[in-house]
Chains A and B, each alone.
Chain A
Amino acid sequence: MAYSEKVLDHFKNPKNVGTLDKNKTNVGTGLVGAPECGDVMRLQIEVDDTTETIVDAKFKTFGCGSAIASSSLATEWLKGKTINEALEIDNMAIVEELALPPVKIHCSVLAEDAIKGAIEDYKNKNK
């Protein structure tokens, strides 16, 4: 199975790889997947408290090329969105953008869950 150009590009030149300080109150962290399943995705967002806008997003992913590309793309889409807008990101949009084959759809699901996890963590910290 050959990978799409977009997957290859995100894989070779991943955007926003890194780590934000998870102890800061305006940083939300989503950690999904498990090493046993061959996929672990950690996605972090830094939020401007007054506007609830995502000002920065970082990821690290253990997984196949499609999982890495899905999380790289997700961080790109998150920046500049409000957290409510970010909650609307659907995994199928990632599938379409990256032209993921059916066997890799779970990678996009993981990315959507990581986004939701990061936002939930941020909200829990700022109740």
Chain B
Amino acid sequence: MEKRLIYLDNNSTTPMDPRAVEAMMPYFYQHPGNAASRNHPFGWAAEEAVDNAREQIADLISVDPKEIIFTSGATESDNLALKGVFEMYARKGNHIITLKTEHKAVLDACKKIEKMGGEVTYLDVKRDGLLDLAELEAAIKPNTILVSVMWANNETGVIQDMKGIGEICEKNGVLLMSDATQAVGKIPVNPKEVGVHLMAFTGHKMYGPKGVGALFVNRKKPRVKVTAQLDGGGHERGMRSGTLNVPGIVGFGAAAAIAKEEMTAEAERLSKLRDKLETALMEGLEEVYINGNTEHRMPHVTNLSFKHVEGEGLMMTFNQEIGVSSGSACTSASLEPSYVLMALGLGDDLAHSSIRFSLGRFTTEEEVDIAIDQLKKGVTHMRDLSPIWEMYKEGIDLDSVVWQEH
């Protein structure tokens, strides 16, 4: 019998929806044209397909299709938004504010901007992962040009108060950018309603293809511009040169249309399954903690710490059949556990003990039941092996132990 694999790592990437794959197929063979070829039917067919997808995507987030710039993915969109604004608004100022819990695509682009002469403030978050709005307001200075806050966190699923953040930015006359990669297509996202001027997202986190993403750039009140980071044919209103990935864009558009239709029901189904998983593990095992705010959280995500169990080892008990992510990085290059969980103020031990479960469109209740069973067995196996669990059970205060660190 073939081994059944259970995928609970949908925040890393989602499988494609077969309907989106189906939509892409004609654009590999029947319609091979370049969307920029303006004077023959092959080009027209491609352009029409791209326009249609642009409308589907714009419709999902309630913006004008002209405000959608296609890119290769969210990493590129983040880079284009941050570096593009930094260059375009250099006369206005050079200060950017972001969070310590942002994705590396934002943090590393900000580090590059610092090297280019910019100034970046990395704000702490509260214990539950939410930004303290008062801290944001206090951090804004006369030379601040941009605030960048991710809509929903990839590791914890915590959803920021975008409306509150948008109001502060509006009041202070600074642009607001959001990496909404984890949120778009899963929960209602409307950048204009909350005052987000630039927003990055991608196809492969919402059951579309990999290698295609988008940047929303607000066109009116205010008209936002970014300096292109790729030079070439001037595609995408001059903001992003390069031949458009027509099949990818078509698949992304189809995925957006499906998400718009099915998002509400899907979120409801997944939140029930997520709650079942969470409750079963917390009731069936001792010392299990949820990381991050549980009220403002994505419906399909839970990030749990299993005390005194090392995450990577735990994953090994079941990862011949279950795919999840761990916040523990046990490699010689990086002994640091997840910087996101550390920013929430978790001790190193709990950060090393964390597992992220992210359910998806194709997750079944039966799979969740299997995962619960495997997790319970795995945690028990690891605790039987764990000297610190034994010490903890004997009532030894682990903080009082002098560890021989390596």
Contacts and interface: CB of A to CB of B under 8 A. Distances in A.
Interface of A: 3, 8, 11, 14, 17, 19, 31-42, 60-65, 67-68, 102-106, 109-110, 113, 117
Given A60-B386, A103-B331, 4 more contacts: A32-B404, A39-B330, A63-B330, A68-B313
B406 A62 contact: no
B287 interface: no
A64 B310 CA distance: 6
Q: Which of A40, A42, A61, A104 has the most CB of B within 10 A?
A: A40
17 contacts: A11-B313, A14-B385, A31-B387, A32-B406, A33-B403, A35-B349, A36-B348, A36-B405, A37-B406, A38-B352, A40-B388, A64-B330, A65-B313, A103-B333, A105-B332, A106-B332, A109-B406
Contacts of A105: 332
A64 B312 contact: yes
B328 interface: yes
Contact of A34 (B308, B384, B389, B405): B405
B406 A33 contact: yes
Nearest to A103: B331
A103 B332 contact: yes
Contacts, number: 104
A38 B334 CA distance: 11
A35 B398 CA distance: 9
A64 B329 CA distance: 9
A33 B352 contact: no
Contacts of A110: 406
B390 interface: yes
Contacts of B313: 11, 62-65, 67-68
A64 B335 contact: no
Q: Which of B309, B317, B337, B403 has the most CB of A within 10 A?
A: B403
Contacts of A62: 308-310, 313, 382, 385-389
B316 interface: yes
Contacts of B386: 40, 60-62
Q: Which of A19, A60, A62, A103 has the most CB of B within 10 A?
A: A62
A50 to B, nearest CB: 30
Contacts of A68: 313, 385
Nearest to B307: A35
Q: Which of B312, B330, B335 has the most CB of A within 10 A?
A: B330
Given A34-B405, A35-B398, A60 B335 contact: no
Interface string B151-174: 000000000000000000000000
Contact of A60 (B310, B317, B329, B385): B385
For the complex of A and B, 6 pairs with smallest distance between CB atoms: A34-B403, A36-B348, A60-B387, A103-B331, A42-B387, A65-B316
B405 A37 contact: yes
B316 A3 contact: yes
A41 B403 CA distance: 11
A39 B404 contact: no
Nearest to B383: A62
Contacts of B389: 62
A88 to B, nearest CB: 21
Contacts of A65: 312-313, 316
A32 B387 CA distance: 11
Contacts of B333: 103
Interface in B296-341: 308-310, 312-313, 316-317, 328-333, 335, 337
Contacts of B352: 35-36, 38
Nearest to B330: A64
B257 to A, nearest CB: 38
Contacts of B390: 19, 60
Contacts of B405: 33-34, 36-37
A113 to B, nearest CB: 8
Nearest to A42: B387
Contacts of A103: 331-333
Q: Which of B310, B332, B333 has the most CB of A within 10 A?
A: B310
Contacts of B403: 33-36, 40
A14 B313 CA distance: 13
A30 to B, nearest CB: 9
A43 B310 CA distance: 18
A67 B360 CA distance: 32
Contacts of A34: 403-406
Contact of A39 (B309, B310, B329): B310
Contacts of A64: 310, 312-313, 316, 328, 330
Interface string B244-267: 000000000000000000000000
